[in-house]
């Protein structure tokens, strides 16, 4: 099997990279088990109230995030590449089965309105993991909107929550 290489383009992409003190296997489990995802995926005080995962290329990655005010924001995506304990690639540009996604009823200010492909890479590093989250956008405007909506803060806080949660497993 040929492994896809994902190069970051600073004009189009956002990157969060950290060394975390949990092993890749636990980070992987946190990303691929619906009951785990609900505990850390959305930065507090937001919550992930639903998660559905069909972990295979073309399979569904679905979450519903709830705002502190109680409004729900469903997000559907399609897995593109899965390498156990190493890499997880999904996009919201496609629905399950690689069908083009539709975004009716999504406000421009919703995070669901930003079309991107996520590449989560995990590499063993000493007693932990080198964690890299790459969010690839089709244009500079999409990258800028995602960054302004708090990509680094939100994805960073979610990663902190993932680490704290997995240490309890």
pLDDT at 3: 59
- Interval 88-108: pLDDT, tens: 999 999 999 999 998 764 444
Phi/psi of residue 73, each to 5°? -130, 100
> Which region, left, alpha or beta, applies to residue 126 given φ > 0 means left and ψ of -120 to 50 means alpha?
left
Low-confidence ranges of the chain (pLDDT < 70): 1-4, 104-112
Rounded distance, CA 91 to CA 47, Å?
21
Rg over CA atoms, the chain: 15
Tokens (6 digits) for 118: 């996520």
At 4 the pLDDT is 65
Q: Specify the pLDDT at position 106.
A: 45
pLDDT of the residue at 2:
52
What is the reported pLDDT for 109?
Answer: 44
pTM: 0.92
Give me the pLDDT at residue 112, please.
56
**CA pair distance 77, 68, nearest whole angstrom:** 23
CB-based contact 6:119 (threshold 8 Å): yes
**The two structure tokens encoding residue 108:** 């421009």
Coil, helix or strand at residue 148? helix
pLDDT of residue 94: 97
Q: Regarding the domain with residue range 19-166, which homologous superfamily does it belong to in the CATH classification?
A: START domain (3.30.530.20)
What pLDDT score does 108 carry?
Answer: 44
Q: What is the dihedral of CA 84, 37, 110, 66, to 10 degrees?
A: 170
């Amino acid at each position: 099997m040929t492994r896809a290489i994902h190069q970051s383009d600073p004009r189009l992409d956002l990157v969060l990279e950290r060394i975390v003190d949990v092993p890749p296997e636990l980070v992987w489990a946190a990303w691929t088990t619906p009951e785990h995802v609900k505990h850390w995926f959305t930065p507090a005080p937001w919550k992930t109230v639903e998660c559905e995962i069909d972990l295979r290329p073309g399979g569904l990655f679905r979450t519903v995030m709830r705002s502190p005010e109680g409004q729900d924001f469903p997000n559907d995506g399609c897995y593109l590449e899965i390498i156990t304990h190493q890499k997880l690639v999904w996009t919201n540009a496609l629905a399950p089965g690689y069908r083009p996604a539709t975004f009716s009823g999504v406000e421009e200010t919703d995070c669901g309105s930003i079309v991107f492909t996520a590449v989560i890479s995990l590499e063993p590093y000493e007693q932990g993991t080198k964690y890299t989250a790459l969010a690839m956008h089709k244009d500079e405007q999409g990258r800028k909107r995602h960054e302004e909506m708090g990509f680094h803060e939100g994805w960073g806080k979610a990663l902190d929550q993932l680490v704290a949660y997995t240490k309890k497993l």
